[in-house]
């Protein structure tokens, strides 16, 4: 495949592709966690949480695909193995151990909010250091989506 000619030095394209690949890894961890919680939720909110987690993992899987395809547009391979995902992600995986529903909700909320903070910092770096408005806009769009997902999750956190 020929190198993209998109008015960016190769080193900048590589750096932006790496940032996007790390985002891809983080999204994959959120996706797997949402799937895990969707399958394993047990309590009187089962139906609502089961549906909420499913809606979110369906959205995140599309974001994963879009992110991987953007990495390819920069001329680099998208990470695609569990080894690459776990080695490069900034979020923590959750085992299938039995969790209370509120623990699941709080973990997903924390992941969305942490991912938002990472993507904001990455978007700033991409624009300030690499002058790449396209990738920055892509991340800003993801931030907006995760802010909405966080709001939906936050609305389910029980107040004590």
CATH number of 10-154: 1.20.1260.10
The pLDDT of residue 124 is 98
Burial (CB < 10 A; 0-12, 13-18, 19+), residue 152, is: middle
Q: What is the pLDDT along the chain (160 residues), one digit of tens a residue?
A: 788 889 899 999 999 999 999 999 999 999 999 999 999 999 998 999 999 999 999 999 999 999 999 999 999 999 999 999 999 999 988 766 788 999 999 999 999 999 999 999 999 999 999 999 999 999 999 999 999 999 999 998 877 6
The pLDDT of residue 97 is 73
Among 63, 14, 44, CA closest to 156: 44
The pLDDT of residue 160 is 61
Sequence-distant (≥ 6) Cβ neighbours of residue 115 within 8 angstroms: 26, 27, 30, 91, 146
The pLDDT of residue 159 is 72
| Long-range pairs of 126-134 with CB within 8 A, sequence gap ≥ 24 | 126/16, 126/19, 129/15, 130/8, 130/12, 130/15, 130/16, 131/12, 132/8, 132/12, 132/16
Q: pTM of the prediction?
A: 0.94
């Amino acid at each position: 495949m020929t190198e993209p000619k998109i008015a960016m030095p190769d080193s900048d394209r590589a750096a932006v592709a790496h940032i996007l690949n790390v985002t891809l890894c983080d999204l994959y961890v959120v996706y797997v966690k949402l799937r895990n919680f969707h399958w394993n939720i047990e309590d009187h909110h089962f139906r609502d949480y089961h549906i909420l987690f499913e809606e979110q993992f369906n959205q995140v899987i599309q974001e994963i695909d879009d992110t991987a395809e953007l990495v390819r547009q920069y001329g680099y391979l998208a990470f695609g193995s569990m080894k690459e995902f776990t080695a490069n992600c900034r979020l923590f995986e959750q085992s299938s151990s039995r969790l209370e529903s509120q623990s699941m909700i709080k973990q997903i909320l924390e992941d969305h909010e942490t991912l938002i903070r990472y993507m904001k910092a990455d978007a700033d770096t991409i624009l300030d250091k690499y002058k790449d408005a396209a990738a920055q806009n892509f991340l800003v769009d993801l931030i907006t989506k995760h802010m909405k997902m966080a709001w939906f999750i936050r609305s389910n956190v029980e107040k004590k």
